[in-house]
Structure formats: structure tokens, C-alpha cells
Amino acid sequence: MAKNNHSIGNAGEFYVLAQLAQRGYIAGKTDDGQTLIDVIATDPETLRTVNIQVKSTAQFTGYWMTGNKARKSFESLWYVFVLLKSPAEIPEFFVFHSAEVAAGVEEHYQFWLAKPMKDGSPRKSSDIVKRFQPTPERLEEARDRWDLMFSA
């Protein structure tokens, strides 16, 4: 299993591309690394296009790390969270709309912000890495729900 974040991220993106292609969607990987968009996918029958942010991990601890941009919601933006396994195993995929991710990230951030520091002083707003932590039940509901992206 890849040990650095760049390799893990690339692996997740290519697995997402493969899953979309197997399902008959047209998909391409962006390469700028600056936006929220890692993959652009289109349903060839309806021409509906979605933008996808891929978040990958090889060691799931109950949440995915996201950036500050994840606090924003966009109608055509979806997240696919990828749990990589050994190279011989297919990863697990969890599909969420950006509105749900933004709400979850904001909720966790506000909880963190409200919690005093060890010395009792208040925390200051920052651009620290944010977390998306769906419940185990919600995570299971989102498993392999590729259809949600193109039916909304």
C-alpha cells in the first residue's frame, strides 16, 4: 500500500475513474490540484455533468480529513470518499453531496471552536484541516451510491 498522501490520493482518484467507467459514465481527471474538482463525469444518455472531489485514505479512523473549502456547498459538487485496502482488494466507496459534507464539516468545526484550549482560553477561528465524520449508519447508506450523483 502506498505510504505517502500524494500516492494515496492518486490511487483513490483513479479507482473512482474506473468505477465511473464501469458504470457507463464518461469521466476525466483534472490535474490542477487547486480546485475542489478532481474528476468531472457525464452521463452520456442525459448529458448531466457532475464535479467530484475525491478524498482517499488507507487508514480509516472514523472520519476523513478535508480542507477549508469543504465548508462550501455547490449544486453540482459531489464527494467520493475512498477507503483503500490492499492492492489485491477493491476499495470501498462512499458518495455524498457537497451540501451534506459542508454541513458536517461546519458542525465539527463549530464544535471544535467552542471547546476551550487546554489552558482554558477560547480557540480562535483558523484554517485548520477540517473533518467529515458521518455516523456509521449514514456511511453505510452512502456506500456505492454512484446513482445519486446522476439522479439528483
Give pLDDT, residue 152: 64
| All cell numbers assigned to 69 | 473549502
Give pLDDT, residue 43: 96
Each as own residue / partner, the long-range contacts of residues 1-4 (CB below 8 Å, 24 or more positions apart, any chain) are: 1/58, 1/84, 1/85, 1/86, 1/87, 2/58, 2/84
8 A C-beta contact, residue 52 and residue 38: yes
pTM summary value: 0.88
Domain carrying residue 72: 5-151
Number of domains in the chain: 1
Low-confidence spans in the chain with pLDDT less than 70: 1-3, 32-33, 127-129, 152
Give pLDDT, residue 118: 84
Give pLDDT, residue 130: 80
Give pLDDT, residue 17: 98
Task: For residue 28, give the CATH number of its domain.
Answer: 3.40.1350.10
Give pLDDT, residue 40: 97
